Amino acid sequence: MSCAWLNIPHPKPNAAIQLLCLPHAGGTAALYRPWVKLLPDSIELVLVCLPGREQRCNEVMPADMRSLITLLGNAVTPILDRPWAVFGHSMGATVAHELILSLQCRNLCGPEHLFVSARKAPQFQEGGNQHQLDDDSLCQQLIQLGGTAPELLEIPELRALLLPTLRQDYRLIETSKVSSDQPLSCPITAMLGRDDPELTPDDARGWQRWTNCHFHIYEYTGNHFYLSQSPHLVVSHVVKQLGLT
Protein backbone atom coordinates (compact mmCIF):
# COMPACT_ATOMS: atom_id res chain seq x y z
CA MET A 1 0.00 0.00 0.00
CA SER A 2 1.58 3.26 -1.17
CA CYS A 3 -0.39 5.56 1.16
CA ALA A 4 1.96 7.25 3.65
CA TRP A 5 -0.60 6.77 6.43
CA LEU A 6 -1.04 3.02 6.09
CA ASN A 7 1.40 0.14 5.85
CA ILE A 8 0.64 -3.56 5.45
CA PRO A 9 3.78 -5.45 6.49
CA HIS A 10 2.39 -8.85 5.42
CA PRO A 11 -0.37 -8.57 2.81
CA LYS A 12 -3.21 -11.09 3.07
CA PRO A 13 -5.59 -10.37 0.19
CA ASN A 14 -7.90 -13.21 1.23
CA ALA A 15 -8.14 -12.17 4.89
CA ALA A 16 -11.64 -11.89 6.36
CA ILE A 17 -10.86 -8.59 8.08
CA GLN A 18 -8.25 -5.84 8.25
CA LEU A 19 -7.02 -4.70 11.66
CA LEU A 20 -5.86 -1.07 11.78
CA CYS A 21 -3.46 -0.37 14.66
CA LEU A 22 -2.75 3.11 16.02
CA PRO A 23 0.26 3.95 18.23
CA HIS A 24 0.56 5.83 21.52
CA ALA A 25 1.85 9.37 22.02
CA GLY A 26 5.43 9.57 20.79
CA GLY A 27 5.20 5.96 19.65
CA THR A 28 5.39 4.24 16.30
CA ALA A 29 3.64 1.39 14.56
CA ALA A 30 6.62 -0.78 15.54
CA LEU A 31 4.68 -1.50 18.74
CA TYR A 32 2.54 -3.89 16.69
CA ARG A 33 5.15 -5.47 14.42
CA PRO A 34 5.42 -8.63 16.60
CA TRP A 35 1.75 -9.22 15.77
CA VAL A 36 2.64 -10.02 12.16
CA LYS A 37 3.66 -13.53 13.21
CA LEU A 38 0.89 -13.93 15.77
CA LEU A 39 -2.24 -13.04 13.80
CA PRO A 40 -4.02 -15.80 11.87
CA ASP A 41 -4.40 -15.68 8.09
CA SER A 42 -7.95 -14.41 8.57
CA ILE A 43 -6.66 -11.03 9.89
CA GLU A 44 -4.53 -8.62 7.88
CA LEU A 45 -2.48 -6.18 9.95
CA VAL A 46 -2.59 -2.54 8.82
CA LEU A 47 -0.17 -0.23 10.64
CA VAL A 48 -1.19 3.42 10.88
CA CYS A 49 1.83 5.68 10.46
CA LEU A 50 1.18 9.10 11.99
CA PRO A 51 3.15 12.24 11.06
CA GLY A 52 6.36 12.94 12.96
CA ARG A 53 7.72 9.40 13.17
CA GLU A 54 9.54 6.73 11.16
CA GLN A 55 9.43 7.52 7.43
CA ARG A 56 7.30 10.58 8.23
CA CYS A 57 9.72 12.03 10.79
CA ASN A 58 9.99 15.35 8.94
CA GLU A 59 6.23 15.90 8.95
CA VAL A 60 4.45 17.86 11.67
CA MET A 61 1.48 16.42 13.53
CA PRO A 62 -1.70 18.45 12.82
CA ALA A 63 -2.33 21.02 15.52
CA ASP A 64 -5.79 19.74 16.42
CA MET A 65 -7.69 16.46 16.49
CA ARG A 66 -10.23 17.49 13.87
CA SER A 67 -7.50 18.15 11.29
CA LEU A 68 -5.80 14.85 12.08
CA ILE A 69 -9.04 12.90 11.76
CA THR A 70 -9.88 14.55 8.44
CA LEU A 71 -6.54 13.50 6.97
CA LEU A 72 -6.63 10.03 8.49
CA GLY A 73 -10.24 9.53 7.40
CA ASN A 74 -9.31 10.34 3.81
CA ALA A 75 -6.46 7.84 4.01
CA VAL A 76 -8.58 4.93 5.28
CA THR A 77 -11.60 5.54 3.04
CA PRO A 78 -10.20 3.40 0.17
CA ILE A 79 -10.12 0.29 2.38
CA LEU A 80 -13.65 0.64 3.73
CA ASP A 81 -14.99 -1.71 1.06
CA ARG A 82 -13.61 -4.57 3.19
CA PRO A 83 -14.49 -5.51 6.79
CA TRP A 84 -12.16 -3.82 9.25
CA ALA A 85 -11.50 -3.35 12.94
CA VAL A 86 -9.28 -0.90 14.79
CA PHE A 87 -6.95 -1.18 17.79
CA GLY A 88 -5.63 1.96 19.47
CA HIS A 89 -3.16 2.10 22.34
CA SER A 90 -3.30 5.08 24.74
CA MET A 91 -3.50 8.18 22.52
CA GLY A 92 -4.22 5.81 19.64
CA ALA A 93 -7.45 4.73 21.35
CA THR A 94 -8.74 8.30 21.34
CA VAL A 95 -7.72 8.78 17.71
CA ALA A 96 -9.43 5.50 16.77
CA HIS A 97 -12.62 6.54 18.57
CA GLU A 98 -12.67 9.95 16.88
CA LEU A 99 -12.03 8.32 13.49
CA ILE A 100 -15.06 6.08 13.90
CA LEU A 101 -17.23 8.98 15.08
CA SER A 102 -16.21 10.95 12.00
CA LEU A 103 -16.93 8.08 9.61
CA GLN A 104 -20.24 7.46 11.35
CA CYS A 105 -21.25 11.11 10.84
CA ARG A 106 -20.41 10.74 7.14
CA ASN A 107 -22.53 7.57 6.90
CA LEU A 108 -19.47 5.59 5.85
CA CYS A 109 -18.81 1.98 6.71
CA GLY A 110 -17.80 1.59 10.35
CA PRO A 111 -15.58 -1.10 11.85
CA GLU A 112 -16.56 -4.52 13.09
CA HIS A 113 -14.91 -3.79 16.45
CA LEU A 114 -13.04 -1.10 18.39
CA PHE A 115 -10.24 -2.12 20.76
CA VAL A 116 -9.21 0.62 23.21
CA SER A 117 -6.00 -0.04 25.10
CA ALA A 118 -4.60 1.77 28.16
CA ARG A 119 -6.93 4.75 27.78
CA LYS A 120 -9.62 6.31 29.96
CA ALA A 121 -13.12 6.51 28.55
CA PRO A 122 -13.79 9.94 26.98
CA GLN A 123 -16.02 11.14 29.82
CA PHE A 124 -13.09 10.74 32.23
CA GLN A 125 -10.42 12.34 30.06
CA GLU A 126 -9.07 15.68 31.19
CA GLY A 127 -6.79 18.24 29.66
CA GLY A 128 -3.21 18.45 30.82
CA ASN A 129 0.08 20.28 30.54
CA GLN A 130 2.54 17.47 29.92
CA HIS A 131 3.35 18.97 26.51
CA GLN A 132 4.66 22.03 28.39
CA LEU A 133 7.00 20.11 30.72
CA ASP A 134 10.75 20.62 30.46
CA ASP A 135 12.77 17.84 28.86
CA ASP A 136 13.84 16.17 32.12
CA SER A 137 10.29 16.11 33.49
CA LEU A 138 8.97 14.71 30.23
CA CYS A 139 11.57 11.96 30.32
CA GLN A 140 10.58 11.10 33.88
CA GLN A 141 6.99 10.77 32.70
CA LEU A 142 8.09 8.26 30.06
CA ILE A 143 10.07 6.28 32.61
CA GLN A 144 7.09 6.18 34.98
CA LEU A 145 4.88 4.74 32.25
CA GLY A 146 7.44 2.02 31.63
CA GLY A 147 7.66 2.28 27.87
CA THR A 148 11.20 3.61 27.53
CA ALA A 149 14.42 2.41 29.12
CA PRO A 150 15.96 5.19 31.29
CA GLU A 151 19.41 4.69 29.78
CA LEU A 152 18.06 5.43 26.30
CA LEU A 153 16.76 8.80 27.43
CA GLU A 154 20.28 9.73 28.51
CA ILE A 155 21.36 9.76 24.86
CA PRO A 156 21.08 13.39 23.62
CA GLU A 157 20.47 12.37 20.00
CA LEU A 158 17.57 10.13 20.98
CA ARG A 159 16.00 12.78 23.19
CA ALA A 160 16.26 15.30 20.36
CA LEU A 161 14.47 12.86 18.06
CA LEU A 162 11.79 11.63 20.47
CA LEU A 163 10.74 14.61 22.59
CA PRO A 164 9.50 17.00 19.85
CA THR A 165 7.15 14.32 18.49
CA LEU A 166 6.02 13.44 22.00
CA ARG A 167 5.22 17.09 22.73
CA GLN A 168 3.22 17.40 19.52
CA ASP A 169 1.22 14.30 20.42
CA TYR A 170 0.63 15.38 24.02
CA ARG A 171 -0.49 18.81 22.90
CA LEU A 172 -2.94 17.22 20.48
CA ILE A 173 -4.43 14.85 23.03
CA GLU A 174 -4.43 17.29 25.96
CA THR A 175 -6.22 20.04 24.05
CA SER A 176 -8.86 17.89 22.33
CA LYS A 177 -12.38 17.07 23.44
CA VAL A 178 -14.64 14.29 22.25
CA SER A 179 -16.42 15.50 19.12
CA SER A 180 -19.74 13.74 19.64
CA ASP A 181 -21.71 12.04 22.38
CA GLN A 182 -23.16 9.48 19.98
CA PRO A 183 -22.52 5.81 20.83
CA LEU A 184 -20.84 3.60 18.24
CA SER A 185 -22.64 0.91 16.30
CA CYS A 186 -19.83 -1.60 16.87
CA PRO A 187 -18.66 -3.57 19.92
CA ILE A 188 -15.90 -2.14 22.10
CA THR A 189 -13.27 -4.08 24.01
CA ALA A 190 -11.19 -2.22 26.60
CA MET A 191 -7.77 -3.51 27.67
CA LEU A 192 -5.46 -2.38 30.45
CA GLY A 193 -2.47 -3.33 32.55
CA ARG A 194 -3.16 -3.86 36.25
CA ASP A 195 -0.17 -1.68 37.21
CA ASP A 196 -0.87 1.19 34.83
CA PRO A 197 -0.27 4.42 36.84
CA GLU A 198 -2.62 6.38 34.57
CA LEU A 199 -5.64 4.08 34.44
CA THR A 200 -8.05 2.22 36.72
CA PRO A 201 -10.47 -0.56 35.75
CA ASP A 202 -13.37 1.85 36.30
CA ASP A 203 -11.76 4.36 33.94
CA ALA A 204 -11.54 1.68 31.27
CA ARG A 205 -14.98 0.23 32.01
CA GLY A 206 -16.45 3.64 31.18
CA TRP A 207 -16.02 2.81 27.49
CA GLN A 208 -19.17 0.70 27.78
CA ARG A 209 -21.17 3.93 27.60
CA TRP A 210 -19.87 4.49 24.03
CA THR A 211 -21.35 1.46 22.28
CA ASN A 212 -24.81 0.21 21.43
CA CYS A 213 -23.34 -3.27 21.11
CA HIS A 214 -21.35 -5.74 23.14
CA PHE A 215 -18.68 -4.52 25.58
CA HIS A 216 -15.85 -6.53 27.11
CA ILE A 217 -12.86 -5.67 29.28
CA TYR A 218 -9.55 -7.50 29.77
CA GLU A 219 -6.95 -6.86 32.46
CA TYR A 220 -3.34 -7.98 32.05
CA THR A 221 -0.23 -8.28 34.14
CA GLY A 222 1.93 -5.24 33.52
CA ASN A 223 1.94 -1.46 33.29
CA HIS A 224 0.90 1.05 30.63
CA PHE A 225 2.75 -1.04 28.04
CA TYR A 226 1.38 -4.40 29.12
CA LEU A 227 0.83 -5.43 25.49
CA SER A 228 4.59 -5.53 24.90
CA GLN A 229 4.87 -7.99 27.81
CA SER A 230 2.04 -10.30 26.72
CA PRO A 231 1.61 -9.99 22.95
CA HIS A 232 0.44 -13.59 22.51
CA LEU A 233 -2.33 -13.18 25.08
CA VAL A 234 -3.46 -9.81 23.74
CA VAL A 235 -3.61 -11.08 20.17
CA SER A 236 -5.53 -14.18 21.25
CA HIS A 237 -8.16 -11.96 22.87
CA VAL A 238 -8.37 -9.75 19.76
CA VAL A 239 -8.92 -12.84 17.62
CA LYS A 240 -11.53 -14.15 20.06
CA GLN A 241 -13.52 -10.90 20.07
CA LEU A 242 -13.47 -10.79 16.27
CA GLY A 243 -14.82 -14.34 16.17
CA LEU A 244 -11.98 -15.54 13.94
CA THR A 245 -9.30 -18.19 14.01
- Residues forming beta bridges with residue 144, ordered by sequence position: none
CA distance 21 to 87: 5
Per residue in 18-69, pLDDT (tens digit) is 999 999 988 888 889 999 999 999 999 999 999 988 888 888 889 899 999 9
The model's pLDDT over 93-130, given as tens digits with 9 standing for 90+, comes to: 999 999 999 999 888 889 999 999 999 999 998 866 77
Say which of 42, 90, 117, 179 is annotated catalytic. Answer: 90
For β-strands 43-48 and 6-7, DSSP reports them as: antiparallel
Please report the pLDDT score of residue 132 as a whole number.
63
Give backbone dihedrals phi and psi of 42, rounded to 5 degrees, phi first. Answer: -75, -10
* pLDDT on residue 21: 97
137 annotated active-site: no
> pLDDT confidence of 88, banded at 50, 70, 90?
very high
> Dihedral angle at the C-alpha atoms of 51, 107, 85, 70, nearest 10 degrees?
0
First to last CA, the chain: 25
CA distance 231 to 188: 19
CB 83 within 8 A of CB 12: no
CA-to-CA distance for 159 and 171, rounded, in angstroms? 18
Where is pLDDT greater, at 1 or 166? 166
Confidence of residue 2 (pLDDT cuts 50, 70, 90): very low
Whether residue 205 contacts residue 153, with contact meaning beta carbons closer than 8 Å, is answered with no
- pLDDT tens for residues 123-162? 998 866 775 667 777 777 777 776 666 777 778 877 777 8
**What is the per-residue pLDDT for 1?**
45
